[in-house]
Amino acid sequence: MSEYNKPLPPPTVESEPFWDGCKRHELVVPRCDACLNHWFPPTATCPKCWSTDWTWTGVSGKGKIYSFGVYHRAYHKGFADELPYALVVVELDEGPRLTTNVVGCKPDELSCDMPVEVVFDDVTEDRTLYKFKPVNDS
Amino acid sequence: MSTNLSGKYAIVGVGQSPLGKVPELGPIGLFAVAAKNAIEDAGLKKEDVDGLITRGPDDVYCHHQRVGEALGLNVTFSTSTANGGASQTMAVAMACMAIEAGVCNTVVVGYGRDTWSRTHRNAEAKQAVASSPRTYSEFGSEFGRFGAPVNYAVSARRHMERFGTTKAQLGAIAVAFRNHARKNPHAFMKKPLTLDEYLGARLIVDPLCLFDCSVFIDGAGAVVVTSAERARDLRQPPAYVRGFGFGNRLSGWYNDDNMINTGAKEAGEAAYKMAGIGPQDVDTAQIYDCFTHMVLLQLEDYGFCAKGEGGPFVGSGALEFDGVLPTNTSGGQLSEGHIEGMLQVLEGARQVRREHTPDRQVKDCNIAFVSGHGGNTVCQSALILGREAG
């Protein structure tokens, strides 16, 4: 097996529980105990009501594509073989938006508002990335 | 209660360094040359300057101190800004506020960097650009998110799907600014550009192609700001600061609808209110153009057309020299060169000073609207310059 050659920035103290969730194949985001707002990326206070009481909460993993851009230029050698590839912004049903990739779909098949759901990609022994795939209508 | 500063302060001098490929100068040296030229243009001396607001490459710590040292300046008010491309228009406003507060009288504002040389000066620089990015950010780099274009590509895509905006309409922006650059001897890109060439250009981050992206050059620009009273005795016709405003949607480009409805709305409304005018009174616009699409968004948010109608507006030829809103009349960052909006402050002042040759001078130009945009895409600053104080 060839070595994984894409960047994997190390988790921070604030993001570690999120990446631990990915490793368990669970998508978790902060949810405010006071106003029930979900947000991402994780921060110490709810950006909506500034409550410091919040809980890592599992979400449905379902959402839709807010927008996307298709790279035709490789800024990193790890992505050179994948051109053209799409950087996709997914809006979860719970509200937060995540930057990600969509698998099982070519860039020219993407469109805004397309329904997608989370899949997990165990890219190394230590790290699992959240990605999304199109939801079939059936 | 607020005090209306409209017309109380003015840009009295403008200056720039050599632009383009200037490998013999670094960012501080470029700035120093521009500042010297601006002070001389005003008919002032080094001793008259008691304020300095600067910006340069992000990796230069306390940038204003480096510039001040190079210029041998001791001043009462001095700082560096960090709102990216929104900094330069904001710094002109900050200069007015500082003078109004009585902390200084005459302020040099500028920006300079050696962006072309950083990637081309020598073999080491060329290697740096060829290798992979040196910094990675969580929740993005893992998925191949690098560089600035993607932020505008996702916004453009969303705008296209929601409002029917087309690539050809974005192309009209690039072509108009190139047409302007062709008349500017200092512009970096002077080769003719047709819409067909634009549409056939290689893609960077679809829907953005090569000609949707601004051009990185070496260079600096600076202006001198002082009171309107003082301005009347100086060498050049003043470019009065008639209005300014800011909008910083710090909640994030990727949150809410901030990548479609930008802080330019708040920035523009405040600037128009201060100036007592509306977008219909603007004779020329100098709109921050890191990417074509950002021009389109700002034209909508600054009220030159309705939200969603930016495509047809620019597609009509509105931005051309003989259009309804001659925009980026020196070529903009897409063709003159990217100096983070500073050259557009200079061009706005030059247009209201009416100093250009007729082929570049907007006829009877009384009001120039200048915008800055940047930071991490969410900062907007607007500046309205007038030939008259009010």
pLDDT grade for B132, boundaries at 50, 70 and 90: low
pLDDT digits (tens, 9 = 90+) for B324-368: 999 999 999 999 999 999 999 999 999 999 999 999 999 999 999
Burial of B198 (0-12, 13-18, 19+ CB in 10 A): buried
User: Do the domain assignments include residue A138?
Assistant: no
Percent of chain A with pLDDT over 90: 96
Percent of chain B with pLDDT over 90: 93
Q: So what's the pLDDT on residue B28? A: 97
Q: So what's the pLDDT on residue B55? A: 96
Q: How far is CA B17 from CA B338, B357, B368, in A?
A: 13, 20, 23
Residue A70 sits in the same domain as residue A120: yes
Residues of A in contact with B150 (CB under 8 A): 69, 71, 87
Query: Is 60 exceeded by the pLDDT of residue B44?
Result: yes
pLDDT grade for A2, boundaries at 50, 70 and 90: low
Residue A49 sits in the same domain as residue A17: yes
Residue A70 sits in the same domain as residue A119: yes
Q: Report which secondary-structure segment, H or E, holds B355.
A: none
User: Do the domain assignments include residue A77?
Assistant: yes
Residue A67 sits in the same domain as residue A89: yes
* Residue B140, amino acid: G
User: Do the domain assignments include residue A2?
Assistant: no
pLDDT digits (tens, 9 = 90+) for B138-168: 999 999 999 999 999 999 999 999 999 999 9
Query: Is 70 exceeded by the pLDDT of residue B173?
Result: yes
Q: So what's the pLDDT on residue B280? A: 98
Q: Residue A106 maps to which CATH number?
A: 2.40.50.840
Q: So what's the pLDDT on residue A136? A: 79
Query: Is 70 exceeded by the pLDDT of residue B313?
Result: yes
pLDDT digits (tens, 9 = 90+) for A18-33: 999 999 999 999 999 9
Residue A47 sits in the same domain as residue A70: no
Q: So what's the pLDDT on residue B121? A: 87
Residues of B in contact with A87 (CB under 8 A): 143-145, 150, 154, 205
Q: So what's the pLDDT on residue B65? A: 97
Find the closest chain B residue to A12 by CA distance. Answer: B138
Residue A83 sits in the same domain as residue A119: yes
Nearest residue to B390 (alpha-carbon basis) of B160, B228, B186: B228
Within an 8 Å CB–CB cutoff, is residue B49 touching chain A? no
> How far is residue A44's CA from residue B55's CA, in Å, rounded to a whole number?
31
Residue A71 sits in the same domain as residue A89: yes
Mean pLDDT taken over chain A = 96
Find the closest chain B residue to A108 by CA distance. Answer: B206
Where do the structural domains in chain B lie, given as residue ranges? Answer: 9-118+215-386
Is domain B9-118+215-386 given the CATH code 3.40.47.10 in the classification?
Answer: yes
Domain enclosing residue A100, as ranges:
61-124+129-133
User: Do the domain assignments include residue A1?
Assistant: no
Cβ–Cβ gap A9/B138 under 8 Å: yes
A87: closest CA of chain B, how far (Å): 6
Residue A110 sits in the same domain as residue A72: yes
**Complex ipTM, two decimals?**
0.96
pLDDT digits (tens, 9 = 90+) for A65-110: 999 999 999 999 999 999 999 999 999 999 999 999 999 999 999 9
Cβ–Cβ gap B132/A89 under 8 Å: no
C-alpha atoms less than 13 angstroms from C-alpha of B110 in its C-beta half-sphere: 36
Q: So what's the pLDDT on residue B266? A: 98
Nearest residue to B15 (alpha-carbon basis) of B180, B231, B239, B220: B220
Query: Is 80 exceeded by the pLDDT of residue B39?
Result: yes
User: Do the domain assignments include residue A3?
Assistant: no
Residues of B in contact with A67 (CB under 8 A): 154-155, 157-158, 161, 259
Residue A71 sits in the same domain as residue A115: yes
User: Do the domain assignments include residue A120?
Assistant: yes
Within an 8 Å CB–CB cutoff, is residue A112 touching chain B? yes
Q: What angle do CA B155, B158, B164 make, to 5 degrees?
A: 120
B186: closest CA of chain A, how far (Å): 29
Residues of B in contact with A22 (CB under 8 A): none
Cβ–Cβ gap B132/A75 under 8 Å: yes
Query: Is 80 exceeded by the pLDDT of residue B133?
Result: no
How many domains does chain A divide into? 2
